[in-house]
Amino acid sequence: MAKVLFAATPFHGHVTPLLTVAKDMKARGHDVLFLTGARFAATVKSAGPSFAALPEEADFDDRHMSAAFPEFAEAGTGYGHHIFFWKRVFADAAVAQYRRIQALLERFPATALVHDTVFLGALPLSLRPPDGVRPTTICLGVLPPMLLSEDVPPFGPGIPYLAGPEGRERNRRLNAETLAAYAGLQKDTVSVFEAIGCDLPEFIFDCAVAGPDHYLQLTVPGFEYPRSDAPASFRCAGALPQPSSDSFTAPRWWPAVTAADRPVVVVTQGTLANEDLSELILPTVRGLAATDVTVVAATARPDGPEDFTRLLPERPANAVVAGYVPFDRLLPSASVLVTNGGYGGVHAALQNGVPLVVAGDTEDKPEVAARVQWSGAGIDLRTGRPEPEQVRQAVVAVLGDPGYRAAAGRLRAEIAAFDPFGTVAGLVAGSRAGSRAGSRAGSVPDSAAGSVAGGVAASPPTREQVAVPPRGHR
């Protein structure tokens, strides 16, 4: 059997999907080593793979971003937020990540390296001219693809998809603006890769997707914009199943929710952007207080219920507040998921045929929200801090229109038809068959890279600058 090295950026939402695949690889008999942050050591070991820690200069605790990165609180949203993450969190860690991978490969000669989209220290293995045998590189797309395209608006602000010549013309213009706006980040990232001894042949967003030998987007075509100019290495592999919660002990309120005779609305801010419950959880609870639904606020924090009570001492009678609640147990009883747009949580809802209301404006969340609206499976509120009445109106609209649940049901069926574990297993098996010193499998077409000539804006495009197409518009 093969030796497989996994490398995950130390975010819960990145570690969880990679560890789900690593556990499957281990069950198939492969020798699996998992590289990520120290706080996940026990979780990795309990799943079966061996554990390797990132060096301190590339490690942080994603539950306390402000402690790890003091400037995090000033990053804001939109362009500044993306610059912060790509420079400070991703690019600045690449050299230490790469050196750790190289050291591990000396004692663990893996035939396949599986990594997430923003683990940039894995990218030089794909981009550098081969100087010997190297692992086949397999990137798992744990966030919407960042690749520039004539067919798709640039990654970041959640600009709605627009088909046809008008859309392609718009996208070429937006791509040019994006390249200009991120020129400073590109220059900094080029310097980082030069320190490794590696050229960065394209825009970093493009390289992160087109660079690896294989790029597997963890979704289905029905939830991803169509692209005519994607590299040959790119494909949708389907959504991963949610981790099972065999050890879950149901709280006292559980039967009242799972056997409820009225709609159950679950609200969460996920595992990253959940420090301020007033962003989405509180507006949802307040907005639905007089509505005939049961609200479950899943804070994904052990201190979440206490923090909620501090912010809202008089909890509405139709709401329950919890810390961590396993979605594989809760979502089968849900009628709607209100979320800030975490990629994993949204797919968990779709796997259960649950429609969504999405309100997110940090990380990749605007892009996820836009895809929810485009697919017809929910409503994008196009803000990260909705008013209670906005949430109420959106939830009532989703509950009252069967088209949303029908679209979510179609995506559930499409997800069920894919086998992401089998896809990865096939690539791992193939990694043993031939030379592992070849070049990357695909490259970004010139048309996808855009142009920085003429008419370039001084700032990147925003979601407010573009009209929103109707629900389910494709």
Average pLDDT (16-37) is 97
pLDDT > 60? residue 294: yes
**266 and 232 share a domain?**
no
pTM of the model: 0.88
In a domain, 149, yes or no: yes
Indicate if 400 and 426 belong to the same structural domain.
no
Task: Please give the structure tokens belonging to residue 48.
Answer: 């079966």
Least confident range of 136-140, 220-224, 307-311, 450-454: 450-454
Percent of the chain exceeding pLDDT 70 equals: 89
Is pLDDT at 440 greater than 50 in this prediction?
A: no
pLDDT above 60: residue 37: yes
- Is 429 inside any structural domain? yes
Residue range 17-26: average pLDDT? 98
DSSP string, 100-142: HHHHHHHHS--SEEEEETT-GGGHHHHHSPP-S--PEEEEEE-
Residues 203 and 287 in one domain: no
**pLDDT, position 260:** 79
Q: What is the mean pLDDT of residues 174-185?
A: 94
Cβ–Cβ < 8 Å for 403, 365: no
Number of domains in the chain: 2
Dihedrals φ, ψ of 58, to 5°? Answer: -115, 10
pLDDT band per the 50, 70, 90 thresholds, residue 47: very high
Question: Which of 380, 396, 415 delimits the end of a domain?
Answer: 415
Q: Does position 443 have pLDDT exceeding 70, yes or no?
A: no
Mean of the per-residue pLDDT values of the chain: 88
217 shares its domain with 291: no
Cβ atoms of 212 and 126 closer than 8 Å: yes
| 343 in any annotated domain | yes
Residue 311 pLDDT greater than 80, yes or no: no
pLDDT in tens, 235-256: 999 999 987 777 788 888 899 8
Residues 356 and 445 in one domain: no
DSSP-assigned letters across all residues of 292-332: SSEEEEE--STTHHHHHHHH-SS--TTEEEES---HHHHGG
Domain co-membership, 234 together with 271: no
| pLDDT tens-digit readout, 106-149 | 999 999 999 999 999 999 999 876 566 789 999 999 999 999 99
Q: Would you say residue 107 lies in a domain?
A: yes
Same domain membership, residue 193 and residue 136:
yes
Residue 126 burial by CB count (10 A; 0-12/13-18/19+): exposed, middle or buried?
Answer: buried
Higher-confidence position of 62 and 350: 350
Domain boundary among 400, 415, 430: 415
Examine the pLDDT at 170 and tell me if it is beyond 70.
Answer: yes
Instruction: Please report the pLDDT score of residue 441 as a whole number.
Output: 34
At residue 247, the pLDDT reads: 76
Query: Is residue 211 located within the same domain as residue 316?
Result: no
* Same domain (yes/no): 396, 434: no
Give residue 170's domain range.
3-238+418-465
* Residue 270: CATH number of its domain: 3.40.50.2000
Helix (H) / strand (E) containing 67: helix 65-68
192: which residues sit within 8 A by CB, 6+ positions away? 91, 92, 94, 95, 120
Residues facing residue 139 across a β-bridge? 115, 215
- Phi, psi (deg, nearest 5) at residue 211: -70, -50
Q: What does the pLDDT average to over 436-465?
A: 39
Any domain includes 246: no
For the stretch 379-421, pLDDT in tens is 999 999 999 999 999 999 999 999 999 999 999 999 999 999 9
In the chain, the amino acid numbered 85 is F
Both 299 and 423 in one domain: the answer is no
Using DSSP's 3-state secondary structure scheme, residue 42 falls into helix
Helix (H, G, I), strand (E, B) or coil at 459: coil
DSSP one-letter code for 289: T
3-state secondary structure string, 183-247?
HHHHHHHHHHHHHHCCCCCCCHHHHHHHCCCEEEECCCHHHCCCCCCCCCCEEECCCCCCCCCCC
Residue 470 lies in a domain: no
Shared domain for 348 and 435, answered yes or no, is no
Domain-terminating residue out of 399, 415, 431 = 415
d(C-alpha 19, C-alpha 25), whole Å: 10
C-alpha distances (whole Å) from 217 to each of 112, 258, 287, 336, 343 are 17, 32, 35, 25, 11
Has residue 245 been placed in a domain?
A: no
Q: What is the pLDDT of residue 44?
A: 97
Is 243 inside a domain boundary? no
Whether the predicted pLDDT of 445 surpasses 50: no
Count of alpha carbons within 13 Å of 44, Cβ hemisphere only?
Answer: 25
- For the segment 441-461, the average pLDDT, to the nearest whole number, is 36
* Cα separation values, 281 from 65, 286, 287, 311, 356, Å: 20, 9, 10, 11, 14
Shared-domain flag, residues 15 and 48: yes
